[in-house]
Amino acid sequence: MLGERIRRLRKEMGMSVTELARRVKTSPSYISEIEKGEKTPSLNLLVRIASELRTGIDYLTGLEGFAEKALNVTEVVLLDQASVTAAGKGMDQTGVYPAVEEMIYVPDDALGPVGDIPPFAVRVSGESMIGAGITDNSIVVVNPNGEVGQGDVALVTIGNEWTVKYIYTKADGSLELRPANPSYSPMFFNKEDLTSGLVKIIGKVVWIIGKPKKEF
């Protein structure tokens, strides 16, 4: 809907993709991807697009009161797949992310308290967490400052690999990473795996952009 409305208004004004991109200070290819529904513009870019098209962001998004609610929304970086694959740590020690695919916005009440390391989002590959509503190619938002409790969904690194699983800690300090799909087996790690840094809980998954969960 967003992309379709942008395209229609742009054409009604006789404006090319290149011209709109120039006015809102982005690339023509990015505008095209937005119009096709392949990308989601940041809140700031959305405001600029609405201004150039002489409309409001409520109309573009199709969400009544979005502009007002947007005051309680935080922009979060969506890491590109190369970063997820190549950078097991996800970010350097200063909290600067290696590469960004795009920006998305998340309700503050879902995000929770934000610490020194900002929240970020990643795309998930596979269906091991389909029962939690995380399907293949879903986007999950991770808050490194969020407290991870028993049974919470979290992003975990195992060496240089990322995984999203239910978290269960044991009395002896060991860890179980439990999938939400009976076709997959849980993974178990001892206390030494965690203290050595082989396994790290990066943060709590606080927001999911994907299809409704499948019941088993």
Q: What are the strands of the beta sheet with 187-189, ordered from one edge?
A: 100-107, 73-79, 120-123, 139-143, 199-209, 153-158, 161-169, 175-178, 187-189
Q: Angle at Cα 90 formed by Cα 84 and Cα 91, nearest 5°?
A: 140
Give DSSP secondary structure letters for 30-48. Answer: HHHHHHTTS----HHHHHH
Q: Is 125 a catalytic residue?
A: no
Q: Is 191 a catalytic residue?
A: no
Identify the bridge partners of residue 151 per DSSP, sorted by sequence position. Answer: none
The helix (run of H) or strand (run of E) holding residue 82 is helix 81-86
Q: Which residue in 39, 83, 138, 165 is the catalytic one? A: 165
Q: Which residue in 39, 128, 138, 204 is the catalytic one? A: 128
Q: Which two tokens stand for residue 168?
A: 């269960």
Burial class (CB in 10 A: 0-12, 13-18, 19+), 215: exposed
Q: Which residues are catalytic?
A: 128, 165
